[in-house]
Amino acid sequence: MERGLADLMHTASCQHDDHGHPGLKGVALNRALGEAERRCAATQERLTSPRRRVLALLLEADGPLKAYDLIAAFGEGGEPAKPPTVYRALEFLERLGFAHRIESLNAYVPCRLEGQSHEAAFLICDCCGTAQEFEPDFQAQLAAAEAAGYEVQSITLEARGRCPACRA
Ligand SMILES: [Zn+2]
Ligand SMILES: [Zn+2]
Ligand SMILES: [Zn+2]
């Protein structure tokens, strides 16, 4: 299982080590899944087994995963998932703020920030493919949009560059 996931990562061409954002495993993974169960229960939603499985794969991964990575890894070496199962689970996880889609990579990451659904911003490393989430401050943009008479539905910020490990 772990080897299978490692094969999915986008680190093949990166020669740098000491990356600071390894996936969760063991106790930390179970704690994150338990917390997700509690947040679902608090909003009358259910973390069904496909939803839980997709969230676990995202949490275990060292970087963003594409939908076809998730479909392939879903069955733990057995049958791959039916694509709609994974897409529906991703839609749910995004809606509840457990996961984000990074548009420029067409890939998914688990939300690393506590709390509800929120605006997302990412620092994406073009060398190793990691994506670090940070909390954006869009006040100026929202104020400008409001002044122009717009009602903003969502803003996504994706900054591209090199992570500390790859700059070293
Ligand atoms: Zn690198
Ligand atoms: Zn987030
Ligand atoms: Zn990097």
Could you read off the pLDDT of 28-65 as tens digits, one per residue? 999 999 999 999 999 899 999 999 999 999 999 989 99
| pLDDT of 137 strictly over 90 | no
Average pLDDT, the chain: 86
| pLDDT of 2 strictly over 50 | no
Report pLDDT for 6.
Answer: 44
From the CA of 19, which ligand is nearest? 3
Rounded to 5 degrees, φ, ψ at 19 are -80, 140
Residues lining ion ligand 2 (Cβ < 5 A) are 111, 113, 120
- Say how many Å lie between the CA of residue 9 and the centre of ligand 2: 20
The pair of structure tokens assigned to 66 is: 């594409």
pLDDT category at 3 given cuts 50, 70, 90 is very low
116 compared with 132, residue with greater pLDDT:
132
Q: Are 96 and 39 in contact (CB under 8 A)?
A: yes
47 closest CA partner among 98, 82, 2: 98
Could you read off the pLDDT of 86-123 as tens digits, one per residue? 999 999 999 888 999 999 999 999 997 766 667 789 99
- Say how many Å lie between the CA of residue 80 and the centre of ligand 2: 27
- Say how many Å lie between the CA of residue 167 and the centre of ligand 3: 7
| Separation between Cα atoms, residue 122 and residue 136, nearest integer Å | 9
Report pLDDT for 159.
Answer: 94
- Say how many Å lie between the CA of residue 164 and the centre of ligand 1: 9
